[in-house]
Chain A
Amino acid sequence: MNPANSTPAADRGPGTGAAVTSAAAARDHVRALLRAHGRTGGPNPDAVIDLLLVVSELVTNAIRHGDGLAGFDATLTDAGVRLAVRDHSDALPARTHTTGGIPGTHRTNGYGWPLIVRLCDSVVVEPRPGGGKTIRVFVPLA
């Protein structure tokens, strides 16, 4: 069962271990993570809404534009949630600012990526060694 009183909070809670394969599953996973640590309400319920939107957009991008979802991790900290979404494509989200060597960008419906950028405190796009990329973001919950 869940060692609810153990630390750190990374990925603990109901649903841990079951692979996230859809945006809906990712939202449920994050909701469960927050519930397991009593972080569902608090002074800023809007923050949870923003988190769910970001989760949904990130996973959707991986599935629709990233040649498939390769992994999804959510880590709860005091200040918010760190998300890492891995996909199989080297193509970067449109309008990503990089230093060069851009392999190519992909088109989205135009609203998902700006939403992510607007709602996250930080957004980092990392190439993965075997191909594809990891998008790491931090969504504040304070």
Chain B
Amino acid sequence: MSDGAEATVTRGTARDALVVRVGGDIDHASAFRLEEALSLAHRTGPERTVVDLSATDFADSSILHVLLEAQRAHRARGTLMVVCGPFSDIVRRLFDVTGTEGFFVLADSVGAALELPDPATGR
């Protein structure tokens, strides 16, 4: 059980998708970084956004607020947002305990997230 590492949020692109990757521990003090990265999707308008939580060791409900707001914004624009793992035990437990899994489109990996057909377009 190692000590926590401050959250890092990085952005990349893969096949017309914006991939936002969260590493380390994300909580109320660092959630704004994810919020900023996701607001970029709003401005640059990629085909889809993938939120990669595979390197996220710890997340509390602060991330849910950011993800839900981003999900809302994406739906309003008709753009697909996928949250992908593989999730750490803590992140999985967070979704579980808060009952929020069903609010998001989830995938097991970035690859799977990119392959997912967009329900809006079927592509």
Contacts and interface: CB of A to CB of B under 8 A. Distances in A.
A82 to B, nearest CB: 20
Q: Is the interface of A mostly helix, strand, loop or mixed?
A: helix
Interface centre among A41, A49, A53, A111 (most CB of B within 10 A): A111
B29 interface: yes
B6 to A, nearest CB: 7
A56 B90 CA distance: 12
Interface residues of B, number: 21
A118 B97 contact: yes
Given A60-B27, A109-B62, A31 B3 contact: yes
Interface in A85-119: 109, 111-112, 114-115, 118-119
B27 A53 contact: no
Contacts of B64: 109, 111
Contacts of B94: 53
A57 B90 CA distance: 13
A35 B6 CA distance: 20
B25 A24 contact: yes
A32 B2 CA distance: 9
Interface of A: 22-24, 27-28, 31-32, 34-35, 40-41, 45-46, 48-50, 52-53, 56-57, 60, 63-64, 109, 111-112, 114-115, 118-119
User: Sorted from nearest, which 3 A-B pairs have the closest CB atoms?
Assistant: A111-B61, A56-B60, A109-B65
